Chain A
Amino acid sequence: MIMSSSALILDANLDDPDRFYAALVESCRDLPPEEALAFSARLILLLANHVGDHAILAEALRLAAAGEPAA
């Protein structure tokens, strides 16, 4: 396994976050829930391949699954 050279970025990292958020919502606004889920799945696969780092992806999976952080 390739060692991670960097960690998952948790500071705001897009120069115009509103722009991406609006595009994301727009992309699946008219989709019924099951198709929206399929859209999300394709998006995740595309981005995971782009990230290409198991440690970063594992950290993202952990944070996405955790919900509220433990006290």
Chain B
Amino acid sequence: MGTYDYPRYAARPLAELKARSTSTADVAIVGGGMVGLTMALELARRGVGTVVLDEDDTVSHGSRAICQAQRTLEVWDRLGLAEPMMARGVTWNEGRVYHRDRELYSFNLRKDSRARFPAFINLQQYHVEATLAEAAHREPLIDLRWRNRVTAIDVAGEPLRLGVETPEGGYEMPARYVIAADGARSTIRRQLGLQFRGKVFEDHFLIADIVMDAPFPAERRFWFDPPFAPGQSALLHMQPDRVWRLDFQLGWNIDRDRELEPEAVRSRVRRMLGEDIAFELEWVSIYTFQCRRLDRFRHGRVLFVGDAAHQVSPFGARGGNSGVQDVDNLGWKLALVLDGRAPESLLDSYDAERVHAADENIGHSTRATEFITPKTDVSRIFRDATLELAGRLPFARAFVNSGRLSTATVLPADGPGNVGGSTVRSGVPVGAPCPNLPAISCDGAPGHLLGRLDGAGFVCLLFVNGRTTLSADDRRAFAALAGADIPVRTLIVDRAGGTADADHLPDPGGLLADAFGAEDGACWLVRPDQHVAARWPAFDPARVASALDRICGRSGAVNPRGA
């Protein structure tokens, strides 16, 4: 079929799987899709072995989640996989909005052009998953089992027990923790009898991936009430391999089978693109969607990530991207809990922070859906009034909502994972990921800030203007923090410049200090997921240590200078 040859991954013999499952796995991941595989690779980076169970023997059927956001690329970059994704994907930063027969406006999603990665790349989910699967196959800490369908979970005792079916028969698999990454129709969720809460929308959308040589630029185009589909909406995205994503709103009362007939789809595409453009149909699908989530994402030693935990409408690219942010949040916490350096209650902060994020995503996604498909005559009048004004008065464009596109969630500053600290009016707030701005590498070569943080452990960013301002006591405190059981590496960001090495980041001109909103002497504590956990006007090792204990769910502060 079409432009993509699906890889077929070999299933391993049942006898081998049984033999490998006599000992308890630290972590079993149910679902080897985009989120499950990213989870396995993230945990492997932190030294945690996983068994990944996937019912299929290949990657995503269809292009599905195509818009990979900046934060997702940053997470994959830690895994060494952003480069191949970037090389294959279509980079885009701009969106363009149309109403009826005219263009209303365009917008740029890239907040800072100095950032390493663009706002988005478009890359078919099958390409994403193939890249992740290849990396997982190379990783000795990942035991990736294709055609292993989980049919049951027993959470009554320890370890947890999964019932797994393979083409040759079934086996039982013990695991300390289970991560449910098994998607919208999660088996684990059903097995545990957990309910989603939220909204189901009465509308159908048709995805048509077509292959064509087209003159359109690499940007997101969205139509409200276009002449080729009066009263509905439509969306156009460029994908790699000459594939284009068309997304048509169909309405609720449709004849599904008739709409899926190739000639009906072709006729719809021709109405949009014109009679003279040659194209082939690659993949056609009709979908409905929900905006809903589980009450909690942690249920004892079962943790839900991605679509298994929460679902949104596709407007805003908040499905796959929020799943990768779940992984970003959970990986370091689970690694600390598994090796006993943090209590299991640390996993509750995964629940709190990602439930917060899911509510934000569901809110954006619900509001976009309400704007795109008004539910009543009066709400349609308001929607159309907004679009009409937006064509002639720029202020009204802020009200137009064709999907608020995925950005990194700023986690609650007063939540369990953060400490807060002094308030700064501008710059990077507590709870936000560090911006991936240009920063000099350890070896003096040009690089980016997240490369200096590398997402392995906690980092204390200390902003100075000249290293001579640091005392011998300070240096001893850095060593003590670095030598603690949960190490905090101090990275000195020096506005005065100087030489780069593992502990020093020259910041001539103060590009980074200004971006953070950091005064000379200010200190920022960054979590292993590259999010800011705390900030203070001055370095105080006792505060850093006690913040670390709070963030990791441990009680009792340890003074690294010694009592």
State whether B381 touches A45 (Cβ < 8 A). Answer: no
Q: In whole angstroms, what is the CA distance A38 to B395 when docked?
A: 18
Contact indicator A42/B389 (Cβ below 8 Å): yes
Are the CB atoms of B386 and A45 closer together than 8 Å?
Answer: yes
- B contact residues around A49 at 8 Å (CB): 395-396
A41 and B385 form a contact (CB under 8 A): yes
- Which residues of A sit under 8 angstroms from B386, Cβ to Cβ? 41, 45
Are B382 and A41 in touch, CB under 8 angstroms?
yes
Query: What does the 1/0 interface line of B112-154 toward A look like (CB < 8 Å)?
Result: 0000000000000000000000000000000000000000000
B388 at the interface (CB under 8 A from A): yes
Within the assembled complex, what's the spacing in Å between the Cα atoms of A34 and B381?
8
**Once bound together, how far apart are the Cα atoms of A38 and B389, in whole Å?**
11
| B399 nearest in chain A by CB position | A45
Contacts of B382 in A (CB 8 A): 41, 45
Q: In the complex the two chains form, what is the Cα distance from A41 to B389 in whole Å?
A: 10
Specify which of A34, A37, A42 is in contact with B388 (CB 8 Å cutoff): A42
In chain B between 372 and 423, which residues have their CB closer than 8 angstroms to a CB of chain A? 378, 381-382, 384-386, 388-389, 393, 395-396, 399
> Measured between C-beta atoms, what is the minimum distance from A37 to chain B in Å?
5
Q: Binding site of A, secondary structure by majority: helix, strand, loop or mixed? A: helix
With A45-B389, A45-B399, A46-B389 already in contact, the answer to whether A38 and B378 are too (CB < 8 A) is: no
Distance between B139 CB and nearest chain A CB, rounded to angstroms: 45
* Residues A39-71 near B (CB distance < 8 A): 41-42, 45-46, 49
Q: How far is the CB of B332 from chain A (nearest CB, A)?
A: 31
Tell me the A1-50 residues at the B interface (CB within 8 Å): 34, 37-38, 41-42, 45-46, 49
- Which residues of A are found within 8 Å of B378, using beta-carbon distances? 37
Contacts of A38 in B (CB 8 A): 381, 384-385, 388
Give bound CA distance, A18 to B51, whole Å.
76
For B347-389 the 0/1 string (1 means CB < 8 A from A) is 0000000000000000000000000000000100110111011
Interface of B is mostly: helix
Contacts of B385 in A (CB 8 A): 38, 41-42, 45
Chain A residue with the shortest CB-CB distance to B377: A34
The residues of B that contact A41 with a CB separation of less than 8 Å are: 381-382, 385-386
**CB-CB < 8 A to B388: which residues of A?**
38, 42
Measured in the bound complex, the distance between the Cα atoms of B381 and A42 in whole Å is 9
Q: How many residues of B contact A (CB 8 A)?
A: 12
A20 to chain B, nearest CB (A): 20
Q: Kindly list chain B residues whose C-beta atoms are within 8 Å of the C-beta of A45.
A: 382, 385-386, 389, 396, 399
**Shortest Cβ gap from A41 to chain B (Å):** 4
CB-defined contacts of B399 to chain A, threshold 8 Å: 45
CA distance A38 to B386 in the complex (A): 9
Q: In angstroms, how far is the closest chain A Cβ from the Cβ of B381?
A: 5
Q: Measured between C-beta atoms, what is the minimum distance from B328 to chain A in Å?
A: 27
Q: Which residues of B contact A37 (CB under 8 A)?
A: 378, 381
Residue of chain A at shortest CB distance from B378: A37
Q: Report the minimal beta-carbon distance from A56 to chain B, rounded to whole angstroms.
A: 17
Tell me how far the C-beta of A36 lies from the nearest C-beta in chain B, rounded to whole angstroms: 10
Distance (Å) between the CB of B82 and the closest chain A CB?
A: 35
- The smallest C-beta distance from B2 to any residue of chain A, in angstroms, reads 45
Shortest beta-carbon distance from A8 to chain B in Å: 21
Residue of B nearest to A49 (CB): B395
Complex alpha-carbon distance, A52 and B146, angstroms: 55
Chain B residues contacting A42 (CB-CB under 8 Å) are 385, 388-389
Which A residues lie within 8 Å of B389 (CB)? 42, 45-46
Please, which residue of chain A has its CB at the minimum distance from the CB of B379? A41
Name the CB-closest residue of A to B390.
A45
Give A50's nearest chain B residue, CB to CB: B395
Q: Which residue of A lies closest to B382 (CB)?
A: A41
Which residues of chain B are within 8 angstroms of A34 by Cβ–Cβ distance? 381
Question: Which residues of chain A are within 8 angstroms of B384 by Cβ–Cβ distance?
Answer: 38
Nearest CB on A from B387, distance (A): 11
Collect the chain A residues with CB atoms within 8 Å of residue B393's CB: 46
- Expressed in whole angstroms, the Cα–Cα distance for A1 and B448 within the complex equals 31
B354 to chain A, nearest CB (A): 23
C-alpha spacing A34/B393, complex, angstroms: 22
B381, B389, B393, B396: most-surrounded residue (chain A CB, <10 A) = B381
Please, how many angstroms separate the alpha-carbon atoms of A60 and B381 in the complex?
20
Q: From residue A33, how far is it (CB to closest CB) to chain B in Å? A: 10
> What's the nearest-Cβ distance from chain A to residue B5, in Å?
51
Question: Complex Cα distance A18/B393, Å?
Answer: 28
State the CA gap A49–B385 with chains docked (Å).
14
Q: B395: nearest residue on chain A (CB-CB)?
A: A49
Closest chain B residue, CB of each to CB of A52: B395
For this complex, 24 residue pairs linking A to B, each with C-beta atoms less than 8 Å apart, are: A34-B381, A37-B378, A37-B381, A38-B381, A38-B384, A38-B385, A38-B388, A41-B381, A41-B382, A41-B385, A41-B386, A42-B385, A42-B388, A42-B389, A45-B382, A45-B385, A45-B386, A45-B389, A45-B396, A45-B399, A46-B389, A46-B393, A49-B395, A49-B396
Given contacts A45-B382, A46-B389, 9 further A-B contacts (CB under 8 A): A34-B381, A37-B378, A38-B381, A38-B388, A41-B385, A41-B386, A42-B385, A45-B399, A49-B395
* A interface residue numbers (CB < 8 A to B): 34, 37-38, 41-42, 45-46, 49
Q: Closest 10 A-B residue pairs measured CB to CB?
A: A41-B385, A42-B385, A41-B382, A49-B395, A37-B381, A38-B385, A38-B381, A41-B381, A42-B389, A45-B389
Chain B contact residues, CB within 8 Å of chain A: 378, 381-382, 384-386, 388-389, 393, 395-396, 399
